[in-house]
Structure 1
C-alpha cells in the first residue's frame, strides 16, 4: 500500500513549506472579510501562516496578505488576527 501524500503549504511569514495541518488558514470571504479560519473549511480565498505571532508580524510587514488577497488590509484586521492567534496559542 502506498503511503498517503501529506498536503504541504507555504507560510506567508517565514516562507517555509510545512504540513497543512500545522498551519492556520487566513481566509478572505466572498464578502471581502478577512479572518483566521482554525478549522480550514471556510469558503473563500485562503493563505497560510504558522501558529506564531512572529510569522504573522513578518507577513504583515512584507504586506504578503495584501498581495495574496489582492486588497488593502486595515490595521484593525491585523490586530484581531493577532488577538485570535494569541488566544489559540494559549489554549494549546
Structure 2
C-alpha cells in the first residue's frame, strides 16, 4: 500500500471536541484502581481519553475540572500541572521535529 493513501487514525480531543491525528495527541488513562496518568505509549490498560497539544486547553481544563467530568473520578490538581508540562514539551518537540520526535 502506498504511504500517501494510508488512512490517518483520528481521535477526538476531550477538551475541545475537535478531531486530530492520533500521533498529535496525548493519551490519558484511568486504571482499575482509579489512578489517572499520562500514557505516552498508548498501551496502558484502562479507560483512555485524548487531549491535544494545547497547553492553554490544559490550563482551562484545570479551572473547569474537565477531567473529573470525563473520568467521573477525582483528579488531583498536581496531575493537571504534570499534564501541562508534558503537553508543553510534546508540542515543542512537534514544532521542532515534526513527527520525528515520536515513534509510531
> Shorter-chain TM-score category?
0.7 to 0.9
Gaps of 5+ in 2: 95-104
Deviations 1:55-89 (A, max 9, x none): 21233333321111111112111122222223333
- TM-superposed CA distance for 1:14, in Å, is 2.1
1:18 to 2:20 alignment: yes
* Kept after mapping to 1: 8 A contact 2:62/2:77: no
- Equivalent pairs, count: 91
TM-score (norm. length: structure 1):
0.78
CA distance in 2, matches of 1:23, 1:85: 9
Deviations 1:14-41 (A, max 9, x none): 2211122221111112222212112211
TM-score (norm. length: structure 2):
0.70
Q: CA RMSD in A?
A: 2.1
| Structure showing greater Rg | 2
More helix by share: 2
